[in-house]
Amino acid sequence: MKIIATKLLDAYIIEPKVYADHRGFFMETFNIKAFEELGFSYNFVQDNYVVSAKSGVLRGLHYQLEPFSQTKLVQVTYGAVYDVIVDIRVGSPTYGQWQEIILSAENKRQLLIPRGFAHGYCTLAENTAFVYKVDNFYSPQHDRGIAWNDPDLNINWPTPNPILSDKDTKHPHLQDLETQFIYKGKE
């Protein structure tokens, strides 16, 4: 597998090895031994699967407070998304910065998102299937978010009028964020 650093500290794009032939392809989506050899140590405890029926569905920007913060390993198995991460670790050299990554069934890329990042994505195709691993369980009481259209972030979403959940229309701006994440150097 190939690891590509993002412009945000501690977040990485992962390109799995793909073995293709006339029948289709095979790839490992996760191998704990390979991750440990790269210096990553996560105990993923849950897999999630989301299908968005329409293009333009925006989910996010989400994160969870301690003690239920989560590292995520995300990928698309059908369709494509415009994926966005935001560093919300106070004191981080990249605090308040965001990065976009196109994840698709075609490019087979994954994104490793450590604790202390908000995450969201907008679908670029109908019936997009998004799967991800997390290293902590979902806790509604610790669930938080940032406004998808925060003018201070000024994220270049692919649509100005996305399809949103009611919850995602009510998140605060970055400057009003409730966060407990403190940057402590390389994780």
Structure tokens at 76: 């698309």
Residues annotated catalytic, as ranges: 62, 132
Structure tokens at 28: 């490992």
What burial class does residue 40 get, using C-beta atoms within 10 Å of its C-beta: 0-12 exposed, 13-18 middle, 19+ buried?
middle
Q: How far apart are CA 91 and CA 111, in angstroms?
A: 23
